[in-house]
Structure 1
Amino acid sequence: MRLTKPTYLLFIICVFLGTTFAQAQSDKQKQLEARRQQLKKEMEQLNSLLFANKKKEKNVITLVEDLNYKVSVRKNLIKVTNDQANLLTRDINANQKEISELRDQLEELKKQYAAMIVKSYKSKSQLSRVMFLMSSSNFKQAYKRLQYIKQYTDYQKQQGEEIKAKTLKLQELNTQLLKQKEEKQKLVEENRIAKKELEAELKEHEVLMASIRSNMSKYNAELKQKQKESDRIDKEIDRLIKEAIAASNKKAGKSTSSSSFALTPEAKSLAASFQANKGKLPWPVERGIVKMRFGKQPSIIDKTVAVNSKGVMIATEKGAKVRAVFEGEVSQIIVIPNANPVVILRHGNYMTVYKNLSKIYVNKGDKVSTKQDIGEVFTNKTTGETLLYFRVYKDSKLENPAYWINKL
């Protein structure tokens, strides 16, 4: 059968759309798999950093914080795995349909090919090709008969090749289908285990929350005291940043009341370089997970109360080194009674703050390079927690660290 031009164009469009759709499905599956592996890695780190040391006695609020985070990651992992399984189901159904259609086409091709072979055999027994040509009434008829024989032979060969190609494709699809079914079964089993673990975590979470609700005044008092201590350090950080801005402006002969740094050409260049690396800066610790993000968020024990986080809180491992996220200068080292040291680095008119350190490796005025160790994170001996509080400022204004640090 010969296709007309409109039919041929429609056929080409259908093939193109089918190929595009299949590629989109494949790309989506790759994205989901990458996200699933990322979440699995995060879950491993979470278990290692927050739940490995069971001998340490964390307070109830810390336990709820950690469990909240774990439940959130677990739910995301279940959702992504479920999305993958659903996408595989669609792929499996599409392949099963294509296999069924291919089998029908192959059956029809084989029937046509068999009929053609029989016809060819009968033709040979009744009249040889030479006699068929010689019996032509003129040269033109002989030429046409020769062309017919050639086309018939080519068509037989084409049919044979088509049967071979469709058979191979059918075998490939069957292999692919078997692999997809195995992958789906693996994902379904992973989700079954994850849902069981989530159920246990939610029960534990409810027990902890019941304990908190039974003595809400006590835990609210604990949170207020913790916030008060944090505010005391934050006020000192804000004061020293304002002092640094004022000193910069005074040196440049500008108003000391300005909230922005007066920059030298060198500082401008450094600030521009820092800005150019937005979203690509390294983590301030080599290994860690974000326990608290930037901005306002509801309190874990009282959803009506908002907690304003000025940076991010990163849980890391004991003895973790603190790294400069970019080259710059040590602007301040803050040591406050009854609090752990803080290091402030300056990068032109940008500042990065590293809070809750146990050791300091640098001095005020030192030049530092990207990823240079500047100290060590403090580990609470009672709870076993190792937490770094990290911030980014542009002049005196707070920035969301997630916009600056790669994959934060």
Structure 2
Amino acid sequence: MKLQKLFLVITLTSFTSLAFAQTSAELKRNKEAIQREIELLQKNLNETSSSKRLTMGQIRAVNAKIRLMQNKISIINSEVKNLDNQIHENSNEVRSLKGQLGQLKKEYAGMIRFAQRNKNSYDKMMFVFASEGFNQAYKRIKYLQQFGQYRKKQADYLQGTQKNIEYKIGVLDKNLKEKSNLLSEQEQEKVKLSKNKSEQSVMLNQISKQEKQFKQDLAARKRKQADIDRAIRNAIQREIEIARKKAEEEERLAAQKAVAEGRPVPVAKEKTNSSYLTASPEAAKLSAGFENNRGRLPWPVGQYSILERFGTHTEGRATYNNDGINILTENGASVKAVFEGKVLFVRELYGTYIVAIQHGEYFTIYQNLKTVSVAKGDKVETKQSLGVVASKEEGPVLHFEIMRGQNKLNPEAWIAK
């Protein structure tokens, strides 16, 4: 029973270490991803800060960087907490193993003393010949054999437990060093965060001085986006109308055929925009495929950091709505389709291109492209290049939207985390 208990402790120790390693690796990957985003934002800030006039893009970049730095500190806190739990577990295991080692040593010492008293062959033979019968003699021979085997096993367990203690102490030392490094990293990140918050405060003061200019910039942005939204909605509505007319024509032909054959005319079902857009088997399959990949769609660019999220935002005293997400990427980055589909339209507005792709009743919109490599009606595959992102005052920023019919959806709920 003691040997089984020892084996169970060692097994549970290994399992706990594995689970910890997986959690720690995941936290490390998340932290590295956040650091890449921070570096991308800082690189963009360095490139766009040459202008004397503060831009909305710079403000958004600093806000995004502060948010990411806070997330990074939060992850470091989780890493420290994980290490504290592991240190506590390992300390308890070392104490438990030391207690078992002491018990094993006592048992082994008792066996050695017994073996010393019965070490010569004569004593063993007398022990066997003193048996009352053949069965008892056979059992005593087996006992002597098993005793020798058991003593060897105990010696192996003794040695194994000693090595396990040494290993666990080594792991504890490593845990303590990791914790010390993480605490040092945490302090460095807090200093950086404080510096960036000071930079943010300076920018906010500057905003109040340039409030008139910011209002004008924001009004211009709203007008441009309204024009783009109108173009997108009109294109989608045209697609709905084409699908509606096609469906009505198919119903009319079906009714004529039924009359000609003397059958009852099929009762037309009430249609919606969704049913029109998914009327064909191909469109229905695309819609289902897109929907089934919710939360797993690839990012439209390779390097990315969300500069502005979906929803309502406030700049100074002005409020505006973002119907998608603004993604900061690298200069010359390729913009890729997040799912297979058909190019609904390619349009140039305000010096850059917009590409809209239809996936059944779903649509993905890619704004602020410098060049395009697709045309209206083209069929595209997942991750196929659509063009190259343009770089303006804010840097290389892609505006990305997802729509279901005419309804805007939050892209972050659809793209892979």
Letter in 2 for 1:401: P
Provide the secondary structure at the position in 2 that maps to 1:358. Answer: strand
Deviation at 1:76, TM superposition (A): 0.8
Deviations 1:189-240 (A, max 9, x none): 2222211111111111112112224554553443233223322322232223
Describe how 1:92-103 pairs up with structure 2 within 5 A.
92-103=87-98
Q: For structure 1, which segment, 176-185 or 260-269, has the greater mean C-alpha deviation from structure 2 after superposition?
A: 260-269
Give the counterpart of 1:360 among 350, 368, 372: 372
Which residue does the alignment assign to 2:26?
Answer: 31
Normalised TM-score (structure 1): 0.83
Deviation at 1:91, TM superposition (A): 0.7
Cα distance change of structure 1 residues 378 and 128 upon mapping to structure 2, 3 Å threshold: same
The 8 Å contact of residues 45 and 58 in structure 2, kept in 1 or not, is answered as no
Letter in 1 for 2:314: S
Give the counterpart of 1:297 among 293, 298, 312: 312
Deviation at 1:367, TM superposition (A): 3.2
- The reply on whether 1:387 has 2:397 as its aligned counterpart is yes
CA distance in 2, matches of 1:402, 1:90: 33
Cα distance change of structure 1 residues 156 and 395 upon mapping to structure 2, 3 Å threshold: same
CA distance in 2, matches of 1:126, 1:365: 97
- The reply on whether 1:331 has 2:326 as its aligned counterpart is no
- The reply on whether 1:351 has 2:363 as its aligned counterpart is yes
Letter in 2 for 1:353: I
Cα distance change of structure 1 residues 114 and 329 upon mapping to structure 2, 3 Å threshold: closer
Provide the secondary structure at the position in 1 that maps to 2:391. Answer: coil
Cα distance change of structure 1 residues 251 and 144 upon mapping to structure 2, 3 Å threshold: closer
Deviation at 1:115, TM superposition (A): 4.1
Describe how 1:83-162 pairs up with structure 2 within 5 A.
83-124=78-119, 128-136=123-131, 139=134, 142-143=137-138, 145-162=140-157
Give the counterpart of 1:287 among 299, 303, 310: 303
Cα distance change of structure 1 residues 52 and 167 upon mapping to structure 2, 3 Å threshold: farther
CA distance in 1, matches of 2:345, 2:90: 64
Cα distance change of structure 1 residues 384 and 307 upon mapping to structure 2, 3 Å threshold: closer
Letter in 2 for 1:328: G
CA distance in 2, matches of 1:121, 1:167: 24
CA distance in 1, matches of 2:362, 2:133: 95
Which residue does the alignment assign to 1:321?
Answer: 334
Describe how 1:125-204 pairs up with structure 2 within 5 A.
128-136=123-131, 139=134, 142-143=137-138, 145-204=140-199
The 8 Å contact of residues 56 and 384 in structure 1, kept in 2 or not, is answered as no
CA distance in 1, matches of 2:328, 2:113: 78
The 8 Å contact of residues 249 and 258 in structure 1, kept in 2 or not, is answered as no
Deviation at 1:396, TM superposition (A): 1.7
The 8 Å contact of residues 58 and 394 in structure 2, kept in 1 or not, is answered as no
- The reply on whether 1:232 has 2:257 as its aligned counterpart is no
- The reply on whether 1:340 has 2:352 as its aligned counterpart is yes
CA distance in 2, matches of 1:164, 1:213: 73
CA distance in 2, matches of 1:222, 1:115: 89
Letter in 2 for 1:87: N
Give the counterpart of 1:46 among 41, 45, 49: 41
Provide the secondary structure at the position in 2 that maps to 1:128. Answer: helix
Q: For structure 1, which segment, 243-252 or 13-22, has the greater mean C-alpha deviation from structure 2 after superposition?
A: 13-22
CA distance in 2, matches of 1:82, 1:340: 43
Deviations 1:347-369 (A, max 9, x none): 33322222122223333333333
Deviation at 1:69, TM superposition (A): 0.5
Which residue does the alignment assign to 1:81?
Answer: 76
Cα distance change of structure 1 residues 69 and 226 upon mapping to structure 2, 3 Å threshold: same
Cα distance change of structure 1 residues 58 and 320 upon mapping to structure 2, 3 Å threshold: farther
Which residue does the alignment assign to 1:270?
Answer: 286
Cα distance change of structure 1 residues 251 and 224 upon mapping to structure 2, 3 Å threshold: same
Letter in 1 for 2:344: S
The 8 Å contact of residues 207 and 214 in structure 2, kept in 1 or not, is answered as yes
- The reply on whether 1:308 has 2:318 as its aligned counterpart is no
| Structure 2: segments with no counterpart, 5+ residues | 252-270
The 8 Å contact of residues 326 and 370 in structure 1, kept in 2 or not, is answered as yes
Cα distance change of structure 1 residues 21 and 297 upon mapping to structure 2, 3 Å threshold: farther
Deviation at 1:23, TM superposition (A): 5.0
Provide the secondary structure at the position in 2 that maps to 1:283. Answer: coil
Q: For structure 1, which segment, 132-141 or 325-334, has the greater mean C-alpha deviation from structure 2 after superposition?
A: 132-141
Cα distance change of structure 1 residues 343 and 60 upon mapping to structure 2, 3 Å threshold: closer
CA distance in 2, matches of 1:283, 1:116: 67
The 8 Å contact of residues 259 and 396 in structure 1, kept in 2 or not, is answered as no
- The reply on whether 1:400 has 2:410 as its aligned counterpart is yes
The 8 Å contact of residues 113 and 156 in structure 1, kept in 2 or not, is answered as yes
Letter in 1 for 2:411: P
| Structure 1: segments with no counterpart, 5+ residues | none
Q: For structure 1, which segment, 18-27 or 389-398, has the greater mean C-alpha deviation from structure 2 after superposition?
A: 18-27
